[in-house]
Amino acid sequence: MKLIGFIVNPIAGLGGSVGLKGTDGNLYKLALQMGAKPNTVNIVNQFLNSLEYKKEIKFLAAPAQMGEDYLGDYEIEYEVFGEIGDKTDADDTKKIANLLIVKNVECIVFFGGDGTARDIFDAIGSEIPVIAVPSGVKMFSAVFAINPRAAAHILDTLVSDSIDYEEREILDIDENSYRKGILESKLYGFLKVPKITNLIQASKDNSRLGVSNTIQKKEIAHEIIENMENDAVYLLGPGTTVKAICDELKIPKTLLGIDAIYQNQVIGLDLNERRILKLIQEYDKFYIIISPIGMQGFIFGRGNKQFTPKILRIIGLNNIIVIATRNKLKELTSLRVDTGEKELDELFERFFRVIVGYKEEFIMPVR
């Protein structure tokens, strides 16, 4: 029987669909006012449903909405410990994680984003291994499993086999700068994670600024603009590769947000789910233009959670245009998605055309 810590950040990811780009501090209150709906239950259920070795695990769970509430419907032994308030915050995460140090747990499974990873590090450093289940808005650190099912597979491997560990970096992202379209990151610390290839994401790579990359982005932009349909709205994801399209059109682009253009003119900047759905009521045809995150390969589920499962299903997989520089694709063996819904993720498991230049494309699998 493996003793495993179990901590859930119940407000993780709230800001994603409403375009807040994070919920550090008290921003979760604003997210709720804007109509955000928690997706934590879905993420935790995906993880628990995917576990094969349930009878070989005993969870030491945080109380109530930080752990206990999710485990009652599963045939998994668990014990609740510690105390939290009615409204949880970062201090609760740190307090519970710190208590686990003396409980001799094999590892700690936690659900959250970069902010939660920093809280866990503050409490335990690299003393106890962790399995980080992605459920936040910002998840650029190199400690997260690629999705909840992968996290479950990692825990199954830990239970059933010997496993090696490595220390991987946690990034400190400045949320205020991030909301202004500036990605400022610095190394915050290291957490010890299982060393399992292809189940844990790499650290985000900031776009290179060399001349070669600039030329490649211009080529991609020319290819996109030349083939734009006059009766379609184009929803443009974040990143410098997508921004190059707007630069060529001489129109503004929210670097780390989602914008809409129609007939080469901006009709919406820094959109959230609600505003995208409103546009869908007003126009008939839509395309999404997206670029994978460097080193990680995610096209959905990291940094663009405004593209919710509902929106992706309405627009359809055939209306998604993936663009990337050749340099970026050289670092990837596949594309990835983590939409928050298992069934939708499985629909993405196909080959996608990736436009890499003018009249040039690669074929890449989504895994």
**Cα separation of 319 and 224, whole Å?**
13
Segments of the chain with pLDDT less than 70 = 13-38, 175-184, 203-211
Identify the CA nearest to 353 among candidates 245, 224, 215: 224
The answer to whether 43 touches 135, Cβ cutoff 8 Å, is yes
pLDDT of residue 209: 45
pLDDT of residue 21: 53
pLDDT of residue 180: 64
AA identity, residue 226: E
pLDDT of residue 44: 95
Give me the sign of the Cα torsion angle 11, 340, 53, 158: negative
Instruction: Locate the domains of the chain by residue range.
Output: 2-194, 211-365
pLDDT of residue 208: 47
| Token code pair at residue 163 | 């496993």
**Cα separation of 147 and 343, whole Å?**
13
CATH assignment, 2-194: 3.40.50.10330
- Beta-bridged to residue 6, according to DSSP, are 61, 109
Burial state string for 102-121 with b = 16 or more CB within 10 A and e = fewer than 16: eeebbbbbbbbbbbbbbbbb
Backbone φ and ψ of 364, nearest 5°:
-130, 140
Query: Per-residue pLDDT tens for 96-112?
Result: 999 999 999 999 999 99
Tell me the C-alpha to C-alpha distance, in Å, between residue 223 and each of 31, 250, 260: 37, 16, 18
Query: Per-residue pLDDT tens for 43-89?
Result: 999 999 999 999 999 999 999 999 999 998 898 999 999 998 888 88
The answer to whether 141 touches 25, Cβ cutoff 8 Å, is no
pLDDT of residue 23: 58
Rounded to two decimals, what is the model's pTM? 0.79
The residue written with tokens 């993420």 in the block is 43
The answer to whether 47 touches 152, Cβ cutoff 8 Å, is yes
Identify the CA nearest to 224 among candidates 159, 136, 321: 321
Identify the CA nearest to 24 among candidates 33, 15, 32: 15
